[in-house]
Amino acid sequence: MSLPHAVLTSLLEKASSGFDLARRFDKSIGYFWQATHQQIYRELARMEALGWIESEQAADAGKTRKREYRVLPAGRDELVRWAAEASAPMDLRDSLMVKLRASANINSIDMRAELEAHVQRHEAQLSHYRAIEERDFSALTGMSRQMKIQHMLLKKGILYEESSMAWAREMLALLEAPDS
Amino acid sequence: MSLPHAVLTSLLEKASSGFDLARRFDKSIGYFWQATHQQIYRELARMEALGWIESEQAADAGKTRKREYRVLPAGRDELVRWAAEASAPMDLRDSLMVKLRASANINSIDMRAELEAHVQRHEAQLSHYRAIEERDFSALTGMSRQMKIQHMLLKKGILYEESSMAWAREMLALLEAPDS
DNA sequence: CGTTACATGTAACCGGTTACATGATTTG
DNA sequence: CAAATCATGTAACCGGTTACATGTAACG
């Protein structure tokens, strides 16, 4: 159950409203943990009831209901406690692999178009990551420990995209090859 | 919604009982799509009601309730239909990454031990995959199209383990390094 | 003869997804 | 002024997980 802790981590970096959190989830932390705004609002309410976070009307709320959430010591403690737990290995549920396996058994299934789309998606994501790397992590010296860790997380994404793309290209080559 | 289709694919390769399917899911197809026996029994019942599969008492049932399931043409058609749908990109939900990100913000979180366990898990899985590769895919010539695709799926797993391990080792080195 | 593996299920729960609702603010 | 974006929520559903139940077969 990592969603509350992902939210806590994000709030720790910057006190925010639910809406801003949802937007941030679409970017940085969302590459490793996605959440819809409904989930986030639900968790914020739950965590406030538990005393892990507190909120007040946002400075720029105007007449809207915008609230800003902040992590309380109890929330910080909970994050430390949770981090010490053993984490289960990530579960892979890749429907493309299931389809490819089906295509190995049924000749009329042609996965080439979908693999091509797949390659393109990985390509786009990769260049997106690389742009972030260039922008935020190109300094050669003086990176703080925090920055170095953040950079490694980005690199994880880059490695994933690179290896997925290379593999998909090889798979595509196999499917394009004449059936000898 | 890939579980029924993963089951269909597995049944296509070999007519089986629910129990055998659950065991097989722990091995081959389960690397890309896990399922507990409860889920599998539920899907088998659903798919039989839909006319995608049929069953009869297993030859080796004895006095047990063991049944053997077989894919019907309608099930095969459904698999073809489903394979033509665009598949969503795999969603990554990696709690280890969330923890590492938390550790970038809270110095008292030490992820070294868990990263070491992580590396070891990947190492074990990798040598397991390599043993399968040696056993089933070491032939240099005459591999059928079906075999080649299956080999590529295994290679996908191997690539994943290799890159995860390399990355985790690099991350570990960073965390071991003196905090300059 | 007790333990482990085989074999199939029911029930409750929970996290995540989808659809829908509501109102304020900004922009063209 | 209409449309898009900001902002927060409710409700229903569904796939996946966990706990529990039940009985047979094989093994030491």
pTM more than 0.85: yes
pLDDT of A62: 82
CA dist B110 and B168 (Å) reads 14
Q: Which amino acid is at A83?
A: A
- Number of neighbours of residue A110 by Cβ within 10 angstroms: 12
As a whole-number percent, the residues of chain B with pLDDT over 70 amount to 99
Average pLDDT of chain A to the nearest whole number: 94
Question: A115: buried, middle or exposed (CB in 10 Å: 19+, 13-18, 0-12)?
Answer: buried
Angle of CA points B64, B65, B68, to nearest 5° = 115
Of the partner residues B83, B95, B97, the one whose CB lies closest to the CB of residue A103: B83
Q: Which of B14, B101, B172 should be substituted to probe chain A, the one whose Cβ sees the most A Cβ atoms within 10 Å?
A: B101
User: Which positions ≥6 away from A126 have C-beta within 8 Å?
Assistant: A158, A161, A162, A165
pLDDT of B180: 60
Please answer whether residues B168 and B123 qualify as being in contact, where contact means their C-beta atoms are separated by less than 8 angstroms: no
pLDDT of B46: 96
**How many inter-chain contacts (A to B, CB under 8 Å) are there?**
187
* Structure tokens that stand for B72 in this block: 């019907």
Q: How far is the CA of B39 from the C1' of C6 (A)?
A: 18
CA dist B103 and A9 (Å) reads 9
| Backbone phi and psi for residue A143, each to the nearest 5 degrees, phi listed first | -80, 135
- Looking at per-residue pLDDT, the higher value among B167 and A63 belongs to B167
Torsion, Cα B178 B176 B157 B141, to 10 degrees, reads: 80
Angle of CA points B97, B102, B103, to nearest 5° = 95
Of A77-86, B58-67, B110-119, B154-163, the range with the lowest mean pLDDT is B58-67
Distances (CA, A) of A56 to A9, A22, A59, A140, A180: 19, 18, 9, 40, 68
Of A9-18, B24-33, B144-153, the range with the lowest mean pLDDT is B24-33
pLDDT of A180: 59
Render pLDDT for B107-119 as a digit per residue (tens, 0 to 9). 999 999 999 999 9
- Looking at per-residue pLDDT, the higher value among A29 and B36 belongs to B36
Q: How far is C-alpha A40 from the geometric centre of its chain's CA atoms?
A: 14
pLDDT of A50: 95
Q: pLDDT-derived band of residue B63, with 50, 70 and 90 as boundaries? A: confident
Please answer whether residues A93 and B32 qualify as being in contact, where contact means their C-beta atoms are separated by less than 8 angstroms: yes
Among B residues 102-161, those touching chain A with beta carbons less than 8 Å apart: 102-106, 108-109, 111, 114, 117-118, 121, 145-146, 148-150, 152-153, 155-156, 159-160
Q: Which amino acid is at A103?
A: S
Point out which residues pair with B57 in neighbouring strands: B67
Q: How far is C-alpha A97 from the geometric centre of its chain's CA atoms?
A: 21
Q: What is the mean pLDDT of residues B22-26?
A: 91
Strands (E), chain B: 53-57, 67-71
Q: What is the mean pLDDT of residues B92-121?
A: 96
User: Which positions ≥6 away from B70 have C-beta within 8 Å?
Assistant: B11, B15, B53, B54, B55
CA dist A104 and B154 (Å) reads 13
* Structure tokens that stand for B103 in this block: 């550790």
CA dist B157 and B150 (Å) reads 11
User: Of all nucleotides in the shown strands, which has a C1' nearest the CA of B58?
Assistant: C7
CA dist A33 and B95 (Å) reads 8
CA dist B63 and A141 (Å) reads 73
pLDDT under 50 in chain A at which residues? none
User: Which positions ≥6 away from B81 have C-beta within 8 Å?
Assistant: none
A98 vs B contacts (CB less than 8 Å)? 2, 5-6, 9, 29, 32-33
Q: How far is the CA of A97 from the C1' of D27 (A)?
A: 39
B154, pLDDT greater than 80: yes
Q: With a 7 Å cutoff on the CB, does A161 touch strand D?
A: no
Question: A30: buried, middle or exposed (CB in 10 Å: 19+, 13-18, 0-12)?
Answer: middle
Q: How far is the CA of A66 from the C1' of C23 (A)?
A: 12
Quick check: helix, strand or coil at residue A36?
Answer: coil
Q: How far is the CA of B37 from the C1' of C7 (A)?
A: 10
| Backbone phi and psi for residue B63, each to the nearest 5 degrees, phi listed first | -95, 5
- Number of neighbours of residue B59 by Cβ within 10 angstroms: 8
